[in-house]
Structure 1
Amino acid sequence: MDSSLLEKSNKLIEPLQHELLDLINGNREWEHLGEDNGVESDRIMTESGIQLIKAIGLINRQPQQIVDVICDYQHKSEWDDMCVESLMVQEFDPNYRVLYQRFWAPWPISHRDFVFASKVSNVGEDIIITAKSVETDLVPEKSGVVRGSINTSGFYLQKLGENLTRVTYLVSVDPKGSLPLWVVNQLGKKQCQVPYKLKVRLGDA
């Protein structure tokens, strides 16, 4: 195990859980983007101009069943059609690891890839998944692929009943490279449908 990578990951992930819970439960003013496929979406514009998306949907499954799909990195492309490669970089424990993922982008935009720490934690009967980009020499940058940055990302899976979960997805990604900000934010809006994609993958749509 790379102890320096663990230390760097801890410094990023530990405060992120509190940040996500504050964003979900706090009194921030969100701009409502609408409803599509049963998913309510909102956003906040960050100081950098890159939006932070919040998407909320209901899935008729237990939180752990949803976690099992989200964390099955080898099969992510089966519910996220933009993901073309997903690999394990380092596993600290079954619920805490560093992953590499590469995503398709339409021509002439280059593919984007990300190296990020991801952790699953229990919050009572609920589950929170946090993810944030981390720097490591274990995954060199590839020619023709732009290394993006996950500024904030996570799922809050709130158990509402025996087989009912409210899925709140939060994400803010900087794809880097020479993309106009409006293109960055337009791509970000596609992330609003992640709760619905999970619902489809679980056979609940």
Structure 2
Amino acid sequence: MRKIILLLVTLSLYAPAMAQSKWKLIAEEDQIRIYSSAVPDSKIKAIKVDCIVDASVAEMTALILDVEAGTEWVYKTKSCKLVKKVSPTDLYYHSEISLPWPLDNRDFVAHLVARRDPATGVVTVDGPVVSGMVPEKRNVVRVMDSKGRWVLTPLAGKTKIEYMLHTDPGGYLPAWAVNAFAAEGPMETFKSMKQQLKLPKYRNASLTFIAN
């Protein structure tokens, strides 16, 4: 059961934003801090992750928008496919998360949009789940409720990351069990993310809407 919960709390790494005021620190490791907060009208808590990475905002944004590489660093991602590219900073993708038997895998379709504040240089990346676009598969539960946001703040060549998420994995799973292990999936994902950022394809990335 512990491993099952760990997989489910990683489901919406790209998903769209919520604001919480009473965050409680629940885990800290490798300069990665994870908080939880109650959400009105939901038994599942929201999660916030913050850390500082040795990469520019452009490099970090390039990693997030490289959705098909999600299988390399987002915990237990079975597949991650680009569905539609509206622009370099506006795209749709489909992802499936592997769960151990007897649970069904989960999948979702998300709409990723990145924006930069010209005054502060802060980049936000939202990715609400959307319906349709990809047919649902037998024995795979489609995630229909997922909210989260990346906020990337430039810090002298580094980037301060704040990531928030609240997701309902759908199907049967006790809310207390999801909340009990909510820190582990994001922690493993962010550790892998730091390693992924070292790859040559992200180093010195330049995005047209972001000033390096």
Give the TM bin, normalised by the shorter chain.
0.7 to 0.9
What one-letter code is carried by the residue in structure 1 that aligns with 2:49? A
Higher relative CO (CA 8 A, sep ≥ 6), structure 1 or 2? 2
Indicate if the aligned counterparts of 1:102 and 1:111 stay in contact, CA closer than 8 A: yes
The answer to whether residue 27 in structure 2 is matched with residue 31 in structure 1 is: no
Q: Please state how far the C-alpha of 1:140 moved relative to its aligned partner.
A: 1.3
Query: CA offsets, 1:51-95, max 9 Å, x none?
Result: 110000110110110111111111111112411111122222221
Matches within 5 A, 1:30-109: 30-46=23-39, 47-109=41-103
Unpaired stretches in structure 2, ≥5 consecutive residues: 1-15, 200-212
CA offsets 1:142-197 (integer angstroms, 9 cap, x no match): 00100013421121111111x21111111111110011112333464334324332
Aligned residue type for 1:98: Y
**Counterpart-to-counterpart distance in 2, 1:126 and 1:107:** 42
Aligned to 2:162: 168
Look up the equivalent residue of 2:29 and give its one-letter code: D
Question: In proportion to residue count, which structure has more strand?
Answer: 1
CA distance 1:187–1:74, change in 2 (3 Å): farther
5 Å matches for 1:142-181? 142-161=137-156, 163-181=157-175
Q: What is the deviation of 1:111?
A: 0.6
Distance 1:35 1:57 in 2: 10
1:139 corresponds to 2:134: yes
Structure 2 vs 1, CA of residues 147 and 63 (structure 1 numbering), >3 Å: closer, same or farther? Answer: same
Matching residue's letter, 2:105: H
Q: Percent identity?
A: 23
Which has the larger helix fraction?
1
Which ranges of structure 1 fall in alignment gaps of 5 or more residues?
A: 1-15
Q: For 1:102, what is the secondary structure of its paired residue? A: strand
With the length of structure 2 as denominator, give the TM-score of the two structures.
0.78
* Alpha-carbon contact 2:106-2:140 (below 8 Å) kept: yes
